[in-house]
Structure 1
């Protein structure tokens, strides 16, 4: 058992394996529950789960008395290092392609969720039959956290050049460099850059890839206190070391181990690479079958198909009518005309209608018995002159008020 009190923890070899429930328990030592809650590993696994290519965290158990912390995860068969260790013949390219597609999916998932792993290596990539899952998030970091980061991060053989040549100024692209190194190691059963120390690590990279362009070195120098210059090397190139790989495989490998992180491929772009065309087609077909299983297509009768246009037309009419009713609501009341009942008043005589003389003269019947037709009044504009005889003006007396004199600011 290994004691570690810092918030960043590393996976320890499992001390307890339950084969009945397919669980593995990893133990740590911590002082308080606050440290446990601040563990990036636990926060990252809670955020990233569930995902088919991320190790599943079932439960977190912390004992206050002993300060021991247990992470209960799913049990996997082995890791990539155990898979290729001692092999005489490399894996088939079909299996390699399947594993690398799942690794790129896991990296794309964590990067989309604002996390980069910072320690991608064969020991942290777990295998269960044909399923690959990424584990050990003890060194992970937020994509949005402020630089510089920890300089000594990631295992040396899988460390990107920006991690070696800068004072912690690197991004999530370092995960793609590490994945490219794992990619080569799966195909050739040997590490791509097995440096003995940091200086030897840079030398191994330059022997294969060659020295970078001057603009790339200038970017690295801006973020480091000390200056460095490397003698020009063309590099032997990856194809000389991997004669059994397909051109598409080499194309993706070159894109993942590009020296300049700005020119390096992302995980999302890697998933769209022609090397994974078969995996994308298989995934698309599986998704289509899944949809058919949950949403079966029912056959439609021919008469319904012929009357489809009528149904749609009637449906549009009904929608238009409902919209009109919503815009212009009808008055509440009966939707049909009805006759009111007659009132029966006892002791009331028949009432005769009376009207004023003015109304009688205007609306009353003429000598011939016909009612005159009322004509609308004509509106006269302000600029038009009216008949002076019809224009009746009231007689108004005019008075002149005396003038008021202002004295000393008052009235």
Structure 2
């Protein structure tokens, strides 16, 4: 922990203390969860369900981010360095008088369902969803404290008294540990009610009182439902009949869609209870789903536009490069290198030599092209010698004529833009 400077205590639980700390490396603030239990080896640390779960679930926008695991072998102390949030849901609504807006509640519940959907899809359920474990920072919600989580595929029965009583599902109360990931949805329904009304939905003082308060709202379940919980031997199922008041009298100002989702989340029978993925498709979240789809579509269009602009930039660069090359070729064709002297075959003048009755005529020489084929390797072409075709006999006059002709050298070709 020499890398972190403690600032102050921000929370305390049964198994850990939470401190606000500052990193001495980057100066950022983090939440340090110091475990009260001491550990003997790094293998024991890595086997912790909480660490395994966070490593599997990170990164996700609605799951608390684990930045670092700090373990001191000598003292056996373990600390989890997590991102620092502003507060939890309980702190948000504690002592509050003005209700939260419907839009804010909807946004929080949508993010909570997203975190649960991500967890359940990855084979983990939380088992302790409650306002204290739901963290917020401005408008972002993240689920934290995975110390009680279990694998969806692990063998039942589970620990009987695991979640906080007020948020414990009926199957957790009425069986000896025979429950599933659907318990998280029940707890989320209780949280939904609490952030709407600022009061806990089922604040039982003990297990029997907890069941009684559930029946006061939802009514006594049918025998068919109770028979599913017969695996429990700790409690008699001879409950007095209650019709139940329902939720409406307790939250009269909420919309029918939010009331419908709340009922679906606190369905007594876990087989009939809504799942997290199904909850995200509920009409209550229609507005958020539409906005999310529009944002995704806009993001894709922006990405596509960026790709098109980038491709056009590349194409324009290639066109510009090809244009320079074409311009160079065209200029070479329009302004060929000028030869000083005749560019075609000429007839040599006839010479009148005194004392000679007949002068042997010589045919006009044929001039071959002085350029070779353009070099493919980028080298400057070389000149070919001019060859005269005709008799090998040369008169003195011819020699004089040849010597009087000036010799010219062709200028080198100028290269442009990597071309010529």
TM-score normalised to structure 1 length: 0.69
Aligned partner of 2:118 in structure 1 is 109
Shift of 1:81: 0.2
Aligned partner of 2:168 in structure 1 is 159
User: Are 1:165 and 1:220, in contact at CA under 8 Å, matched by a contact in 2?
Assistant: yes
Shift of 1:144: 0.2
Equivalent residue in structure 1 for 2:188, among 179, 183, 188: 179
Shift of 1:135: 0.3
TM-score normalised to structure 2 length: 0.67
Q: Distance in 1 between matches of 2:207 and 2:252?
A: 28
Aligned partner of 1:17 in structure 2 is 21
Whether 1:287 aligns to 2:296 is yes
Q: Distance in 2 between matches of 1:298 and 1:126?
A: 41
Whether 1:252 aligns to 2:256 is no
Q: Distance in 1 between matches of 2:22 and 2:308?
A: 46
Aligned-partner SS, 1:71? strand
Whether 1:31 aligns to 2:35 is no
Equivalent residue in structure 1 for 2:85, among 67, 76, 82: 76
Aligned partner of 1:208 in structure 2 is 217
Aligned partner of 1:123 in structure 2 is 132
Q: Distance in 2 between matches of 1:11 and 1:282?
A: 40
Q: Distance in 2 between matches of 1:181 and 1:87?
A: 18
Aligned partner of 1:191 in structure 2 is 200
Q: Distance in 2 between matches of 1:268 and 1:40?
A: 24
Aligned partner of 2:277 in structure 1 is 268
RMSD: 1.8
Q: Give the direction of change, closer, same or farther, for the CA distance of 1:248–1:77 in structure 2 (3 Å limit).
A: same
Give unmatched runs, 5+ long, in structure 2. Answer: 1-12, 313-420
Aligned partner of 2:51 in structure 1 is 42
Q: Distance in 2 between matches of 1:246 and 1:13?
A: 39
Q: Distance in 2 between matches of 1:199 and 1:224?
A: 14
Aligned-partner SS, 2:153? coil
Shift of 1:24: 1.1
Q: Distance in 1 between matches of 2:195 and 2:54?
A: 26
Q: Give the direction of change, closer, same or farther, for the CA distance of 1:222–1:26 in structure 2 (3 Å limit).
A: closer
Q: Distance in 2 between matches of 1:286 and 1:12?
A: 40
Equivalent residue pairs, number: 293
Q: Distance in 1 between matches of 2:61 and 2:243?
A: 41
Give unmatched runs, 5+ long, in structure 1. Answer: 1-8, 302-411
Equivalent residue in structure 1 for 2:64, among 45, 52, 55: 55
User: Are 1:10 and 1:136, in contact at CA under 8 Å, matched by a contact in 2?
Assistant: no
Aligned partner of 1:278 in structure 2 is 287
Q: Distance in 2 between matches of 1:11 and 1:99?
A: 27
Q: Give the direction of change, closer, same or farther, for the CA distance of 1:139–1:190 in structure 2 (3 Å limit).
A: same
* Deviations 1:16-74 (CA, angstroms, capped at 9, x unpaired): 42284131111113221232111100000000000000000000010011110010000
Q: Give the direction of change, closer, same or farther, for the CA distance of 1:12–1:90 in structure 2 (3 Å limit).
A: farther
User: Are 1:221 and 1:227, in contact at CA under 8 Å, matched by a contact in 2?
Assistant: no
Q: Distance in 2 between matches of 1:63 and 1:157?
A: 37
Q: Give the direction of change, closer, same or farther, for the CA distance of 1:128–1:143 in structure 2 (3 Å limit).
A: same
Aligned partner of 1:240 in structure 2 is 249
* Deviations 1:141-177 (CA, angstroms, capped at 9, x unpaired): 0000000000001000000000000000000000000
Shift of 1:227: 3.8
User: Are 2:20 and 2:84, in contact at CA under 8 Å, matched by a contact in 1?
Assistant: no
Q: Distance in 1 between matches of 2:288 and 2:282?
A: 11
Q: Give the direction of change, closer, same or farther, for the CA distance of 1:254–1:47 in structure 2 (3 Å limit).
A: same
